[in-house]
Structure 1
Amino acid sequence: MKQGSGDVNVQTSRGGEQVGIAYDETHRVWLLRTPHSAYAVACPSSVTVHHQEIPDPLLHVYWGEPVTLADAVHIGTVKRQRWSRRGFESPLDGAEEYPVRGGIRFGRAALAARFGATRSIEWRLVGSNTTRDGDTHQLTVEFADGPLHLALHYRIRADTDVIERWAVVTNTGDTPIELDRFDSATWTVPEADEYRLSHLSGRWSAETQLRHQILTDGEFVIGSRRGTTSHQANPWYAIDDGSATEESGTVYSGALAWSGVWQLATQKLSHGGVQVLGGVGHDGFGPYRLAPGESLTAPVFAGLYTADGFGGASRAWHAYQLRHVMPNPDADRPVLYNSWEATGFDVNEENQKALAARAASIGCELFVMDDGWFGARVDDHAGLGDWTVNPERFPNGLAPLIDEVHRLGMDFGIWVEPEMVNPDSDLYREHPDWVYHFADRTRHTMRNQLVLNLARPDVADWLYDRIDALLSDHDIQFVKWDMNRPFTEAGWPAETDNPERLWLDHVHNLYAVLDRLRAKHPGVAFESCSGGGARIDMGILARTDQVWTSDNTDAPDRLIIQHGYSQVYPARAMSCWVTDVPNFLDPRTVPLRYRFHAAMAGVLGVGGDLSEWSDADLAEATDLIAEYKTVRTIVQHGQLYRLRPPSPGLSAVQYVAPDRSEAVVLAYLGAQRFGERPPLLRLAGLDPHARYRVDGVDDPLTGAALHGFGLPLRLNGDYDSTLLHLTRVGD
């Protein structure tokens, strides 16, 4: 589709900036303008590479602070003039917006395909289109090489600097096309003297730990081959020049909205420049066979430019997810109690009612019964897959327990792990081929369970029917959806034409099941859990109300985990529990107050054995929960400032209401040394001209004083902590 020069679907954002898509027909340059950034690509009719004409290359032009369309045209021309002329390199490497396999290229390809007798792609531009739907603007650029058709999509909105990108590939021929790699997008970082990569890594019980490293020539790859987002890595990255701080400096970041196997590859080219390619699949994934007439849509790989440091990037990501990703984002999440650590598998109507009474007495608003309520589930060896109420433990069904929980003024929630099956279950005995396996090979269990082949439509329908029946037959308001076993022996013997599709179809069908359940049961909230934090990403956040951050509830450890989590995901979705000490991982003991304050940094929950808590503990918990309820809207919906990162000394986070009328500070002292006082805590994000009343301070102080001088903290002794509530009292 031909476009004329000039602004296409341009609007004024809330801040008065021009937002939209502009196009220069002569130079075939598109400029995407967000409230505080610009992004440009060009598709000249041809470029010369080693004295040969390459038709219709899609080139990256610019990403950074706002510029004009004329600027973008000039920048694109200068960049091509500066191309490397060395005979052993390709100027296309690091310059293309979406590199493909074939031609004079040596870098990593975002798209690698085989069709007919060729493994090399030589595409031509076949059209482009820009559309506007309210505050949303979209650009689509389309290419083709024989039967291989590719559409690259860009989407921007008037209230965010996040740019959403994804790709769609279609087989227009009459024979299959094999895809060896199909990324969502490639993000190109502007030239810098140095590149520092930040990313999240870890393991079970130690998820989302923030890492930094200086990039050297070559590739750095993170991803998951486990069927889930994984404990080991998370699909987010940030790149700066090594000088950015929490609140200043240019940061380029990206996040992939996908809950299965994935890969982010950062390549630093020998002649300069850095690109990040990301999408579904892992090394060895594929080939994925694209049938005649079939299209495959890659998940969104979103990118963000900010000049306000890592904190500014985080706040932009949080706002974007709350506005455009998460369901019901404006609702406050309730304080929950979960029965797992109190009763384990040994659940029954009597002990759950007793725990519910204690949970209600301290102010909990949601009671969640965990594992052990169904089938022959007395331990982890049996029962998964048989989602019917155990008649011995609940002789009158779940209704008496649910009614009592509601009578106590709480909502009722329940735990399920519906993607799994125990070999010792009626489901497995009836359908042994419903699990991932290889024909004539041993089916190895982990955690005494196997993974159901949710890629199969009949399994997906069965799963939906089981959970739908559970929700239809019971007055349930919350589902904790667990997924504890990674994929191994991921085979699908019945799918002979395209067995590798299981890696994608499992996630697509999971999304479809959750979407159907949410549509039919709009009053039910869902939590994503996967052995802790192994399924946290923007794909699952689009379908769940919160995520279980980690099985590790040790408060000092959780500060580190929550610090990494907060780089990209909002507190509104971060489920945090107060549990007993010492926990199953760490022998240390920390005060109940410190544990509560660590959990108050997100969606507060309680998971300890309340039957063993003293009257003093219950009274203190009651006061702390009441205090959390007075500030939770600010925590769950406010802007986050990481004042001091987790350390053996002082750590602190701050949440500021959108209108800056209130703020909440949570501060934690690790170990006190040499009798020294903790340093003054400088606050952030407040109106410098307004006066704020601070808990424990006699006279109101201006935002400028709280930022420039700070607050003395009354913390004394190891693992002391405090919550401060600030309220604006005038200008």
Structure 2
Amino acid sequence: MPIQINNNIITIHTRNTTYQMAVGEFGFLLHLYYGKKIEGDMSYLVTYNDRGFSGNPYEAKENRSFSMDTLPQEYPCYGTGDYRVTGFNMKNDEGIYGCDLRYQSHCIRKGKFAIQNLPAVYAKEEEANTLEIVLEDKAAGIEVTLYYGVIESLDVITRAAKIRNIKEKSCIITKASSGCLDFMEGSFDMLHFHGRHGMERMLERTPLRAGTMSFGSIRGTSSHQHNPFFIIAEKETTEDMGCCYGISLLYSGNFKCEAELDQYNQSRIIIGLQDEMFEYELKQNETLKTPEVAYIYTADGLTNLSHKYHKLIQNHICRGIYKNQPRPILINNWEATYFDFNGKKIIDIAKQAAELGVEMLVLDDGWFGERDSDNSGLGDWFVNEKKMGGSIADVVKKINDMGMKFGIWIEPEMISEDSKLYKEHRDWVYIIPERNPVLGRNQLVLDFSRKEVVDYIFDMIANILKQTNIEYIKMDMNRSIANVYTAVAGKQNYGTILYHYVLGVYDFLERLNTRFPHILIEGCSGGGGRFDSGMLYYTPQIWCSDNTDAIDRITIQYGTSFGYPISTVGAHVSAVPNHQTGRSTNIKTRGIVAMAGTFGYELDLNTLTLEEKEIVKQQINNCKKYWNLIHNGLYYRLVNPQKQHDIGAWEFASEDKSEALLNVVTLDTHCNAYVSYIKLKGLEEKAWYYMEQDKEKVYSGSALMYGGIPIPKMSNEYQSWQVHFVKVK
């Protein structure tokens, strides 16, 4: 049994890790250890000292060495004399802040816990176990149940909390974190992934310093600016060695991660709901559930950590028929036409695509309402038959007759002022009375915290999906949320509204998945503005970035790979000069970069030369040929493109070490340049491998991994080299 109770010591074991806590004196739940698998009672690590100005619980009396200001804890709360960042805070009906949570009980059960209305890691009953620990403050009238989910084989430990008001009078929850990691020393680096629209998930590695570091979002989505995935690593940790802890929050709205190095060189990491302007009222017996956070520890470096998260997301977060199936190779018309299209133009794009082997056409923005620009039509989810030259069923049938699937773009959370829906239901929109709203992309946001709004939009879109054979949805969300207000009684609170807004989005997606299980849904929020594990529970892939430039995408996809598998990364070959950067990159390189994702095209294939069309055919063949290796193999980051500016390099290797696909792109060129050598990973040392493109070249696995292979000289920048190594039988 991976969860063991011995007197007051609670221990969780996975295949390679141990997580231990203790019910300490006076009922405080203390954290003892999280790291490499060990045996024994780790309570000896906790030291007790009389620290000046660190308060003590009343029960401790003369024992000044027992202080919550210095002790490691499982779920620290404000009000116990702990002045570090805390995971939980509340105020009672008199407006008094703080509480004092003490251990009450625990239980262990088979299977993995779920969270109603929120995404959660799932597993078969025999694959997982759950620990529940109940904490309580009787005076404050608060009960907190801490959930620990354990998938032993993957070294995964998840956490979440359920907060219940057990008193007659209402209270307000002002901070509700999902989990806390306390360390008794502080020599760590924080790896976080920041960015902006079009340049998401840029890796930054920063030492923990005295004080508090904080990352998060108040934009209504997890955001382009900060991703809810973090890594805590020892200073010496590299891709291939060293201790590191992954922290992945399964939530797509406002969040916050705080890292504090305290006065005694102890470290604390808090992750959960954003507490800025968060006030959640609980009446008697009402509950608040926090999102789940998935922790993984490894002593074997960043690559091993990524591999574990890739397997977790692929097999225990993503769902549906496409979870482990090849995705259709698609063409999206957006960069080919923008709003300037009609049914005939779409059919013409599909004809050329079908001839080259593309399997699906996705009709992007502009097929509905009075939508000829981004200034109108959002919310009016009925087909513009004048623009389409007939019903959408007519267009779909013609495309299906070519042997292609068909998909559409939607943006259900948004509304235009110039729309029929706005004229009929202005009260459904986030607008503060007597104040002009903040616009984003000249659009406003529907109040998805209201069930009637979600019902209406779902019914409108479901009516379209029922009419014809639509097999794919790209679900977009193109602005941050502001002007949060609702006219519904009892829901005027900012924090309550945005939390329930996210639940409304999840409800909408759950209904889509249940009603139309054959449809592949791709998440999108201006590209990667809602790229998180919570969204992947409903959409098995997410448009990685609106920036389709192959060279920028190398860095974007590099950062994304730390916490998310290749199968979730929406990536396309787009037109040149690139519409975002103006850069021209050859189609071979664009294809190799896009192959590190779900793969597709974002251009009018009719504009390509005959030579380029032949390359497209070969790319599609290669994508199918290497699909299992790319999507089920192990992904290796061979070069950090943020630091080594001459080349970008990555590799896919099969778990059985029988083959590997090496990908290299030149980012810069110089006169009389030196030779770059790339060392492969994930091969069998004593085996021999031939190069499929030149079978006379045979290398030992040890040579390729420790000696490396020289990159051939390329004529100029943005050239690429893709090599398939196959084990000699």
Deviation string 1:407-447 (CA, Å, 9 cap, x unpaired) is 22221110000100000000010000101121222123221
Paired residue for 1:549, among 529, 544, 561? Answer: 544
Paired residue for 1:40, among 12, 16, 20? Answer: 20
CA drift of 1:609 comes to 2.5
The answer (yes or no) to whether the contact 2:689–2:727 under 8 Å persists in 1 is yes
The answer (yes or no) to whether the contact 2:662–2:723 under 8 Å persists in 1 is yes
1:269 alignment partner AA: D
CA drift of 1:472 comes to 1.3
After alignment, is 311-320 or 442-451 more displaced?
442-451
CA drift of 1:715 comes to 4.1
Paired residue for 2:558, among 563, 571, 574? Answer: 563
Deviation string 1:706-731 (CA, Å, 9 cap, x unpaired) is 1122223334122111111122222x
2:572 alignment partner AA: W
Alignment of 1:280-679 (within 5 A): 280-283=273-276, 285-327=277-319, 328-496=322-490, 498-500=492-494, 501-646=496-641, 647-679=644-676
| Correspondence 1:92 to 2:86 | no
The answer (yes or no) to whether the contact 2:485–2:492 under 8 Å persists in 1 is no
The answer (yes or no) to whether the contact 1:58–1:96 under 8 Å persists in 2 is yes
- Whole-Å Cα distance in 1 between the matches of residues 77 and 557 of structure 2? 38
Instruction: Look up the SS of the partner of 1:393 in the other structure.
Output: helix
CA drift of 1:32 comes to 0.6
| Correspondence 1:729 to 2:722 | no
- Whole-Å Cα distance in 1 between the matches of residues 648 and 336 of structure 2? 30
- Whole-Å Cα distance in 2 between the matches of residues 497 and 683 of structure 1? 56
- Whole-Å Cα distance in 1 between the matches of residues 478 and 613 of structure 2? 32
- Whole-Å Cα distance in 1 between the matches of residues 359 and 182 of structure 2? 47
Instruction: Look up the SS of the partner of 1:153 in the other structure.
Output: strand
Deviation string 1:89-129 (CA, Å, 9 cap, x unpaired) is 36424611110010211111211011244422122322100
1:300 alignment partner AA: E
C-alpha RMSD of the superposition: 1.5
Instruction: Look up the SS of the partner of 2:458 in the other structure.
Output: helix
Normalising by structure 1, report the TM-score.
0.93
- Whole-Å Cα distance in 1 between the matches of residues 444 and 363 of structure 2? 23
The answer (yes or no) to whether the contact 2:72–2:184 under 8 Å persists in 1 is no
| Correspondence 1:135 to 2:135 | no
1:63 alignment partner AA: Y
The answer (yes or no) to whether the contact 2:189–2:208 under 8 Å persists in 1 is yes
- Whole-Å Cα distance in 1 between the matches of residues 164 and 306 of structure 2? 35
Q: What is the identity percentage for the equivalent residue pairs of Structure 1 and Structure 2?
A: 31
| Structure-2 residue corresponding to 1:271 | 264
CA drift of 1:495 comes to 3.4
1:119 alignment partner AA: Y
| Structure-2 residue corresponding to 1:13 | none
Paired residue for 1:65, among 28, 33, 36? Answer: 36
2:723 alignment partner AA: L
Deviation string 1:207-233 (CA, Å, 9 cap, x unpaired) is 100001112111111111110110101
Instruction: Look up the SS of the partner of 1:234 in the other structure.
Output: coil
Paired residue for 1:31, among 5, 11, 19? Answer: 11
| Structure-1 residue corresponding to 2:227 | 234
Paired residue for 1:710, among 708, 711, 714? Answer: 708
Normalising by structure 2, report the TM-score.
0.93
The answer (yes or no) to whether the contact 1:224–1:282 under 8 Å persists in 2 is no
After alignment, is 618-627 or 480-489 more displaced?
618-627
The answer (yes or no) to whether the contact 1:439–1:493 under 8 Å persists in 2 is no
Paired residue for 1:105, among 54, 79, 82? Answer: 82
CA drift of 1:362 comes to 2.0
The answer (yes or no) to whether the contact 1:170–1:293 under 8 Å persists in 2 is yes
- Whole-Å Cα distance in 2 between the matches of residues 428 and 187 of structure 1? 46
2:4 alignment partner AA: A
Instruction: Look up the SS of the partner of 2:686 in the other structure.
Output: coil
| Structure-1 residue corresponding to 2:691 | 694
- Whole-Å Cα distance in 1 between the matches of residues 285 and 714 of structure 2? 68
Instruction: Look up the SS of the partner of 2:144 in the other structure.
Output: strand
Deviation string 1:1-28 (CA, Å, 9 cap, x unpaired) is xxxxxxxxx1xxxxxxxxx111112xx1
| Correspondence 1:83 to 2:54 | no
Q: How many residues align?
A: 693
After alignment, is 419-428 or 286-295 more displaced?
286-295
After alignment, is 669-678 or 456-465 more displaced?
669-678
The answer (yes or no) to whether the contact 1:601–1:666 under 8 Å persists in 2 is no
- Whole-Å Cα distance in 1 between the matches of residues 677 and 151 of structure 2? 40
Instruction: Look up the SS of the partner of 1:464 in the other structure.
Output: helix
CA drift of 1:245 comes to 0.8
Instruction: Look up the SS of the partner of 1:179 in the other structure.
Output: strand
Deviation string 1:627-658 (CA, Å, 9 cap, x unpaired) is 22211221112111111121321221111122
| Structure-2 residue corresponding to 1:5 | none
Deviation string 1:243-283 (CA, Å, 9 cap, x unpaired) is 11111111112011100111111111111111111111242
| Correspondence 1:680 to 2:673 | no
- Whole-Å Cα distance in 2 between the matches of residues 29 and 300 of structure 1? 24
- Whole-Å Cα distance in 2 between the matches of residues 663 and 190 of structure 1? 41
1:443 alignment partner AA: P
Deviation string 1:549-591 (CA, Å, 9 cap, x unpaired) is 1111111111011110001001001011111122233232221
Deviation string 1:479-504 (CA, Å, 9 cap, x unpaired) is 00000011011112333455231111
- Whole-Å Cα distance in 2 between the matches of residues 571 and 728 of structure 1? 23
The answer (yes or no) to whether the contact 2:400–2:406 under 8 Å persists in 1 is yes
- Whole-Å Cα distance in 1 between the matches of residues 491 and 142 of structure 2? 19
- Whole-Å Cα distance in 1 between the matches of residues 357 and 185 of structure 2? 54
CA drift of 1:42 comes to 0.8
Instruction: Look up the SS of the partner of 2:387 in the other structure.
Output: coil
- Whole-Å Cα distance in 1 between the matches of residues 384 and 33 of structure 2? 61
- Whole-Å Cα distance in 2 between the matches of residues 188 and 724 of structure 1? 45
CA drift of 1:691 comes to 2.3
The answer (yes or no) to whether the contact 2:256–2:274 under 8 Å persists in 1 is yes
- Whole-Å Cα distance in 2 between the matches of residues 57 and 456 of structure 1? 39
The answer (yes or no) to whether the contact 2:72–2:183 under 8 Å persists in 1 is no
- Whole-Å Cα distance in 1 between the matches of residues 265 and 31 of structure 2? 15
Deviation string 1:454-511 (CA, Å, 9 cap, x unpaired) is 0011001112212221211121110000000110111123334552311111111111
Instruction: Look up the SS of the partner of 1:392 in the other structure.
Output: helix
1:680/1:123 CA distance change after superposition, 3 Å: closer
Structure 1's unaligned 5+ residue stretches are 1-9, 11-19, 47-54
| Structure-1 residue corresponding to 2:255 | 262
The answer (yes or no) to whether the contact 1:493–1:499 under 8 Å persists in 2 is no
After alignment, is 180-189 or 691-700 more displaced?
691-700
- Whole-Å Cα distance in 2 between the matches of residues 287 and 359 of structure 1? 52
| Structure-2 residue corresponding to 1:249 | 242
- Whole-Å Cα distance in 1 between the matches of residues 413 and 649 of structure 2? 38
1:620/1:401 CA distance change after superposition, 3 Å: same
Deviation string 1:140-159 (CA, Å, 9 cap, x unpaired) is 10011122110001011132
CA drift of 1:523 comes to 0.4
